[in-house]
Structure 1
Amino acid sequence: MVTLLGLTDVTASRAECCTPLLREPLGQQDAEQLAVTLKALADPARLRLLSIVAASEGQEACVCDLIDPVGLSQPTVSHHLKVLTEAGFLTRSKRGTWAYYRLRPEALTGVADLLAT
């Protein structure tokens, strides 16, 4: 698995990562990497932001449209989006003065595959 700033890219090759939890026990390193990835999702604000982006047209949203729905300040929203981006769940592009975030569905599928039977 590839890590960036302590967060795991869940889209890394399956051969480099974990087997599904119900097939065989995780090794210590795989468990630690998966825990870091799940930690990025284990925050209510991050889950809401991820769901808002996922439900947006084209699965993309401007940071300016994400502040009011979660009721947090712009710096706090930006921090949460950075964590989700570094974990591989979102991509970021800059347009003018605004940042736009797009869902990476394969990242969610990767986590789901690990937890599936």
Structure 2
Amino acid sequence: MNLDYELNAKIFKALSDQNRLKIIDILSCGEKCACDLLENFDFTQPTLSHHMKVLIDCKLVKCRKEGVWSHYSLDNTNANKLLLFLMNIMTDTDECICKKQGSGKCETDNKK
């Protein structure tokens, strides 16, 4: 598995904002119109647009236009890739970076 640290760091940076985490949580229930999302926050439409742009740029959210309305949904494929990345970097597997570098054993194994 290719562990793209740079891309995933960008995603985690996007998720470091509590409002964006809440947006992801809301979208986990299905597609929502911008007006529906705004009902859950105490900020303006331009602020929502900024948060959505950040989430779209890191490919966690998709946008579909219908007339003047924007409808947002989770990009489940990329969300699942993020989960797999996190599981891979937090689990001692054959793909572990320290094993790839030739030691054959993770340093944390020596501390057990």
TM-score normalised to structure 1 length: 0.69
Aligned-pair distance for 1:89? Answer: 0.7
Percent pairwise identity:
35
Which string of whole-angstrom CA distances, capped at 9 and with x for unpartnered residues, describes residues 53-97 of structure 1? 112xxx100001111202211100111011111111111111111
Q: Identify the residue that residue 105 of structure 1 maps to in structure 2.
A: 76
Cα distance in 1 between the residues matched to 2:63 and 2:7: 23
Q: Output the amino acid matched with 2:37.
A: L
Pairing partner for 2:18 from 34, 44, 49: 44
- Secondary structure of 1:66's aligned partner: helix
User: Separation in 2 of the partners of 1:108 and 1:42?
Assistant: 15
Secondary structure (helix, strand or coil) at the match of 1:85 reads helix
Describe the superposition over 1:87-113 as per-residue Cα deviations: whole angstroms up to 9, x where unpaired. Answer: 111111111111001111121211111
1:28-56 CA distance string (max 9 Å, x none):
xx43332112111111000101111112x
1:114, CA displacement in angstroms? 1.0
CA distance in 2, matches of 1:62, 1:49: 12
Q: Give structure 2 stretches of 5+ with no counterpart.
A: 92-112
> How many pairs are equivalent?
88
Higher-RCO chain (CA-CA 8 Å, sequence separation at least 6): 1
| Structure in which a larger fraction of residues adopt strand | 1
Distance 1:31 1:87 in 2: 13
Match of 2:101 in 1: none
State the superposition RMSD in angstroms: 1.4
Tell me the residue number matched to 2:5.
Answer: 31
